[in-house]
Homo-oligomer: A and B are copies of this chain.
Amino acid sequence: MTIQNRAKASKTASIQLAALDAETKNKALEAIALKFEARKAEIIAANREDCARSEAEKLDAPLLKRLRFEDEKLSEVIEGIRSLIKLPEPVGQTRLATQLDNGLDLYRVTCPIGVIGVIFESRPDALVQISSLCLKSGNCVLLKGGSEAASTNRILAEIISEATVAAGIPDGWIQLIETRADVNEMLKLSDDIDLLIPRGSNDFVKYIMDNSSIPVLGHADGVCHIYLHEDADAAKALPILVDAKTQYVAACNTMETLLVHESVAAQQLPEIKAALEAKNVELVGCAKTREVLQIGEATEKDWRTEYVDYKLSIKVVSSLEEAIVHINTYGSGHTDAILTEDEAAAKTFMALVDSANVFWNCSTRFSDGFRYGFGAEVGISTSKIHARGPVGLDGLMIYKYKLIGHGQTVGEFSSGKLSYTHAPLDRDCPL
């Protein structure tokens, strides 16, 4: 089947899937979990094939680590599916109810978006997370994973499809796309695909945006900042900075630039340097930083760089305002934190920093769907519309307006015979 025909099949399936009840979807999710347990040996064998091939092809060690999918990862994704089952049904929730007139009632009711195209990196657990979130939210999904994980992705998608279709989910709701050429085909299918979620670098997300008229929810770079205000509590700050930089350097929510108020630079930077260097972090800084620390020079490019590595750029600023302007200029709108004991400064920072996640006195690493309590995430959106920050079930929903009348016409209102009451209704949509 061509990608176009497969997307059309998804579109058709999406109409039926959107109308399915919670029980059927939850039973299908449980069927996936059971099939994963039953076919564990096959999954692990497929993954070992991927790992052996990738090792022979000299894939980087961190990527190899992300590719590995054995007992522990499998248990984690099964646990993830079962916690998703317990979350409330997202489809069919009444979000607004207004009486337009006696016997003319308007409801805004949540519904799935439709068909979602997701392009993700090598981690096979992302495939399971994304497809189970899509199923729970009633969306069809076209998935393209990394080629390193081809065998693992194939068996996972096959199991998910078989288990769910047997449980009553429309055939074609999940489809795996395997080649780059197919991805390029997919980008053209704006009639049948409603949303693209690319997970990767800024350049990759920009490529998708530039080459498709389908709406894009961008999971792009995280150039995250922590700003150390003049009154920051040093004892609180140090563990936060070490955590934000080193707890997991490959994540998009790690700190890449530290901003320090000039009044505390001389006093606090040496201790910060010692703590970070003890964790093998390379530091580069602005001229004022280098008056205090003997480190390399940070260039203009550094301020825009997501290192995802043991490296940090440091800039001394003369005010809260300068810190905010720096973040809004060089940041990626992902996650930025202020460390201060001054509530007014925190309030200003959180109001004026134009990022999806703005934190006060805690690590940027908290920016994550699981940690936020969303059960799972399809990614962290740096877009300014639809869904921002960690995207869980909510971000995969839209709504439709249902208007229930008894023969009303607009003419009767325009002529003045009837007039709108616009009274809030305290009830859910009856259908």
Contacts and interface: CB of A to CB of B under 8 A. Distances in A.
Nearest to A194: B384
B404 A363 contact: no
Interface string A94-130: 0000101000101000000110000000000000000
Interface residues of A, number: 81
Nearest to A404: B360
Given A236-B406, A240-B407, A385 B194 contact: yes
A100 B384 contact: no
A384 B98 contact: no
A100 B366 contact: yes
A343 B402 CA distance: 13
A15 B357 contact: no
Interface in A380-431: 383-386, 388-390, 398-411, 413-414, 420, 422, 431
Contact of A411 (B217, B243, B357): B243
Interface stretch (A175-183, A294-302, A345-353): A345-353
A168 interface: no
B371 A411 contact: no
Contacts of A267: none
Interface string A238-252: 011011100110000
A403 B357 contact: yes
Contacts of A358: 400-403
Interface of A: 14-16, 18-19, 98, 100, 104, 106, 113-114, 190, 194-195, 206, 209-210, 213, 215-217, 233, 236, 239-240, 242-244, 247-248, 324, 328, 343, 346-348, 350-352, 354-363, 365-367, 371-373, 383-386, 388-390, 398-411, 413-414, 420, 422, 431
Given A98-B372, A243-B410, 14 more contacts: A243-B411, A350-B431, A355-B400, A358-B402, A359-B404, A360-B405, A362-B404, A362-B405, A367-B401, A367-B403, A371-B410, A371-B413, A373-B420, A389-B400
